[in-house]
């Protein structure tokens, strides 16, 4: 989408732009621009706004940071973006005559969300009609209009050109029409999926269209199973797993399909009854790797002959797949939980596993208010990182290991409605934990955060200095290194080597007869 060029200012007198003041509250003023967009300014008189907006002639609404590049002077005094999300108090002051000047069809969708009103509005009436029609057909597009990634931007262009929403999306997702039509009839998906219809379609790809979640209960169950199964990262991916990653993916797709067949809510309840709940699903892939390693060990002991590395890899993959092809997913998850308990005892971990490996000390023990509208939240578990990565569409879900080892700490900046605004990675000094630095600060899809968020970085560092328990952080960092060394040892949970002792532990978990029958042709 091309931007309208900023007009060249001449020395000739130009008539002031006509703006419409809709409401005023505590120094804030809600106005309608000459092009029909809604804007909220702070400490500006109508006369100042009229002078500022005389050159404001952009044809389409864009993100604040992009608008500032084209109209820096005109947007001086515009309030922070999160304020635009909810201006119900300002709208409540608008008279019926004032509201009559706005597009009522857009208001029905946007309510008091000024930014969303601007996303639907256009100086071209046909585009407004096409966008409203698309939102009526597929309500999930409401969040897609905010995401502005390459696919959603291209889809929006096609909708603006008069194409149906089905044709627009099917150009990028061929064969997904049944799932799209099903989504059009369901309740809204959970918040982490909003603005990520592309990712949602990919996850639902193996699921029969009639099994796509419909109710809030089904959506929440689906999301819990997905995060438990994937978490957007392999939790303890210390070594190269590229080959097995593909095997993991194939089984995850199969198990998502099985969960949908038995009913999302029923599957969730059955997983929840297992020790560790849905989080135990992801651990099961460690257990499957161990079973595959056992098969490889037994094959080596029987002096299996292979012609090439490629043939060995194929046979190893076949052995890995035998367990999930033979046993049901719930049985494997239960065995995995039992096996993991045995492994923690072997590693010398006396405390509960979830306290040792699934959590780490928070840099900020509680939420800290950095400004009137922004809070800082420490993320202290793989699940929390996965949720943040899903919300923000970036790779923070893969940072579990650095966080577990105490090398990194992740902070999420959120608004009053708990919406993620940006994510920071902070590292403490190697020899002095009180020395810290912000390694990276990213917004949605790894974009640069708004200026008002970066301006809060010093406040955040000061809050950490006041609230963090640096002595406990340093002690945990030393302990985490020892745990990592134990788990990486021979026959440990993550050890690449495999011996008879490890086979015996697997046999004790699932039964020796079952394990031997699984690989009887390899023994």
Residue that is written with structure tokens 């304020």 in the block:
83
The answer regarding whether domain 368-484 maps to CATH 3.40.630 reads yes
pLDDT at position 240, please? 40
Tell me: pLDDT of 355 over 60: no
pLDDT at 233: 39
Which pair of structure tokens corresponds to residue 203? 């996850």
- pLDDT for 384: 85
pLDDT at 213: 92
Percent of residues, the chain, with pLDDT higher than 70: 83
**Which pLDDT score, from 0 to 100, does residue 493 have?**
53
CA dist 453 and 75 (Å) reads 17
Q: Give the residue among 203, 201, 194, 208 at the shortest CA–CA distance from 172.
A: 201
Is the confidence at residue 48, as pLDDT, over 60? Answer: yes
- Rounded to an integer, the average pLDDT of 114-133 is 90
In the predicted structure, residue 6 carries a pLDDT above the cut 70: no
Per-residue pLDDT, averaged over 236-256, amounts to 70
Enter the tokens of residue 292: 């595959």
* Whole-number pLDDT of residue 337: 87
Residue found under tokens 């994937």: 230
Start-to-end CA span in the chain (Å): 63
Highest-pLDDT range among 256-265, 350-359, 374-383:
256-265
Nearest residue to 456 via CA among 446, 443, 469: 443
pLDDT-derived band at 241 (thresholds 50, 70, 90) equals: very low
Q: Could you say which DSSP state residue 34 is in?
A: T
Instruction: Supply the pLDDT for residue 424.
Output: 92
Answer yes or no: is pLDDT of 13 > 50. Answer: no
Confidence at 232, pLDDT banded by 50, 70, 90: very low
**Interval 184-188 mean pLDDT:** 78
The residues of the chain that CATH labels 3.40.630 are 368-484
Under the banding of pLDDT at 50, 70 and 90, the label for residue 423 is: very high
Is the predicted pLDDT of residue 170 greater than 50, yes or no?
yes
Residues of the chain above pLDDT 90, percent: 20
pLDDT level of residue 8 (50, 70, 90 thresholds): very low
pLDDT-based confidence at residue 237 (cuts at 50, 70, 90) = very low
88 or 352, which is more confident: 88
Please write the tens of the pLDDT for every residue from 16-31: 557 889 999 988 999 9
Task: Identify the pLDDT of residue 330.
Answer: 94
Cα–Cα dist 4/66, whole Å: 12
What integer is the mean pLDDT of 161-187?
Answer: 82
Question: What pLDDT does 231 receive?
Answer: 54
Q: How far apart are CA 28 and CA 278, in angstroms?
A: 46
CB 83 within 8 A of CB 29: no
Average pLDDT in the chain: 80
pLDDT at 522 over 60: no
Number of H helices, E strands in the chain: 27, 8
Categorize the per-residue pLDDT at 385 as very low, low, confident or very high, splitting at 50, 70 and 90: confident
Max mean pLDDT range (82-86, 148-152, 419-423, 445-449): 419-423
Average of pLDDT values for 187-196? 74
Q: What is the mean pLDDT of residues 141-154?
A: 72
For helices 216-229 and 279-301, what crossing angle results, to 10°? 40
Which of 4-13, 116-125, 311-320, 414-423 is predicted least confidently?
Answer: 4-13
Ranking 117-126, 323-332, 468-477 by mean pLDDT, the lowest is 468-477
pLDDT band with cut points at 50, 70 and 90 for residue 299: confident
- Concatenating the DSSP letter of every residue in 437-491 gives EEEEEE-GGGPPPPHHHHTTHHHHHHHHHHH--HHHHHHHHHHHHHHHHHHTSTT
């Amino acid at each position: 989408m091309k931007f309208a060029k900023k007009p060249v200012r001449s020395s000739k007198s130009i008539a002031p732009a006509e703006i419409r003041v809709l409401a005023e509250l505590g120094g804030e003023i809600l106005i309608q621009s000459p092009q029909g967009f809604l804007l909220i300014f702070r400490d500006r008189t109508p006369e100042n706004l009229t002078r500022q907006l005389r050159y404001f002639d952009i044809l389409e609404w864009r993100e604040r940071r992009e608008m500032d590049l084209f109209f820096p002077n005109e947007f001086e005094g515009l309030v922070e973006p999160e304020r635009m999300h909810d201006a119900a108090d300002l709208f409540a002051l608008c008279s019926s005559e004032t509201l009559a000047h706005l597009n009522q069809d857009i208001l029905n969708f946007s309510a008091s969300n000024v930014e969303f009103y601007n996303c639907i509005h256009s100086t071209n009436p046909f585009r407004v009609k096409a966008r409203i029609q698309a939102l009526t057909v597929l309500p999930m597009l409401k969040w897609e209009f905010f995401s502005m990634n390459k696919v959603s931007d291209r889809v929006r262009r096609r909708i603006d050109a008069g194409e149906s929403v089905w044709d627009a999306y099917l150009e990028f997702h061929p064969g997904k029409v049944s799932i799209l039509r099903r989504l059009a009839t369901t309740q809204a998906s959970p918040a982490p999926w909003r603005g990520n219809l592309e990712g949602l379609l990919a996850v639902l790809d193996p699921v029969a269209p009639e099994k796509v979640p419909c109710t809030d209960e089904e959506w929440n169950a689906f999301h819990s199973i997905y995060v438990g199964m994937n978490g957007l990262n392999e939790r303890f991916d210390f070594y190269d797993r590229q080959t097995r990653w593909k095997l993991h993916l194939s089984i995850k797709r199969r198990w998502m399909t099985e969960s949908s067949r038995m009913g999302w809510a029923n599957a969730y309840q059955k997983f929840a009854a297992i020790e560790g709940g849905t989080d135990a699903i992801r651990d099961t892939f460690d257990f499957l790797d161990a079973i595959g390693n056992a098969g490889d060990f037994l094959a080596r002991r029987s002096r299996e002959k292979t012609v090439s590395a490629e043939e060995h890899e194929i046979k190893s993959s076949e052995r890995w797949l035998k367990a999930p092809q033979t046993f049901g997913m719930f049985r494997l998850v239960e065995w995995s939980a039992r096996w993991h308990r045995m492994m923690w005892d072997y590693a010398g971990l006396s405390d509960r596993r979830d306290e040792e490996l699934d959590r780490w000390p928070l840099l900020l023990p509680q939420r800290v208010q950095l400004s009137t509208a922004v809070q800082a939240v420490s993320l202290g578990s793989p699940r929390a990182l996965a949720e943040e990565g899903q919300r923000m569409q970036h790779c923070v879900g893969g940072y579990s290991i650095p966080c577990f080892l105490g090398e990194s700490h992740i902070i999420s900046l959120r608004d009053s409605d708990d919406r993620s605004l940006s994510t920071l990675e902070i590292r403490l000094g190697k020899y002095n934990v009180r020395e810290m630095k912000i390694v990276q600060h990213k917004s949605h899809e790894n974009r640069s955060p708004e200026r008002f968020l970066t301006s809060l970085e010093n406040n955040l560092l000061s809050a950490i200095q006041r609230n963090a328990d640096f002595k406990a952080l340093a002690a945990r960092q030393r302990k985490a290194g020892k745990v990592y060394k134990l788990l990486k040892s021979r026959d440990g949970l993550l050890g690449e080597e495999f011996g008879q002792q490890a086979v015996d532990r697997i046999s004790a978990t699932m039964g020796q007869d079952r394990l031997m029958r699984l690989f009887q042709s390899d023994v």
